[in-house]
Every structure is written in C-alpha cells, then in structure tokens.
Amino acid sequence: MPLKLSLKPGEKFVLNGAVVQNGDRRGVLVLQNKASVLREKDIMQPDQVTTPARRIYFPVMMMYLEEGMAEKFYEEFATRLNDFMGVVRNPVVLQDCIAISKHVMAREYYKALMLSRKLIEYEDERLGHVSSGVSAGGDAG
C-alpha cells in the first residue's frame, strides 16, 4: 500500500536514513514500497532526551530509522520502558507501554513510535513540562 506524504515548502524528512528537503512549493511524494520515513517534527535530537518518556521514544526512533542496528538500541529501550512502567500507576498508560513493547518485538517500530508519543504527552501533562522536541500528533510513517 503506497504512502502519500503532503509536504510543506521547505519541509524536511528522513527517508531511509537520508535527510530530504522539499523545494519552495507544496509537494506530494508517493512511496510505492516500504520505507522508513519520519518528518522533521517527529525527529528527536539526543540533547532533547531529557525525561523518562523521551528516553523510551529515542531508542524506538533509532530502531525505526536504522532497523539494521535495532539490536543496538533494544537494550536501552527495554531498560527505559521497564523503569517507566515501574513508577507509572495509570492503567491506560501501562497498557500503552505493553502495546509499545509488543510492537517493538514485532518490528513494527513506527507503531511503537507513535504510541511512545502518547507517553511523552502523558508525562508532560503530569509533570507540567512544556513540550520540546517531538510535537503531539503525527501522520507520517
């Protein structure tokens, strides 16, 4: 099933590890086969990994972008998810954590990444943080 990306002028995204930037007009890109695509707004830089939920998101993002190196990032992901689940008491959030783990085990990294965003939103609400890095909501992938 093709993936259709509608791009804003100048919008950047990562496509199979390569940073690509749209030109000066709106554009549409149709990918006909499976590829790792992540919009700029969904990319977290290492210096933005400052909270427990972001420490889950980052290795999942890396597994998605560099699937061949997923094992390298898996241990960090598992440790951080386990730590997070050890302190969270919200049953809905815990269910999301379980679903994230299942998606990672099935190598469905994009699905795990989008659910990980919910953890960041939950954490931001609970801790009163102003969102930085990954924005809420997304539709690429």
Q: What is the mean pLDDT of each run of 10 residues along the chain (141 residues)?
A: 88 90 92 89 94 97 92 96 95 97 97 96 81 48 45
Nearby residues of 104 by Cβ (< 8 Å), 6 or more positions away? 60, 63, 74, 77, 112
Q: What amino acid is encoded at 50 in this protein?
A: T
Residue with tokens 């998101």: 57
User: DSSP 3-state assignment of 57?
Assistant: helix
Single pTM value for the model: 0.83
- Residue 70's pLDDT is 92
Beta strand residue intervals within the chain, DSSP E? 3-7, 12-15, 18-21, 27-31, 37-39
- Residue 17's pLDDT is 84
Q: How far is CA 91 from the centre of its chain?
A: 22
- Residue 127's pLDDT is 79
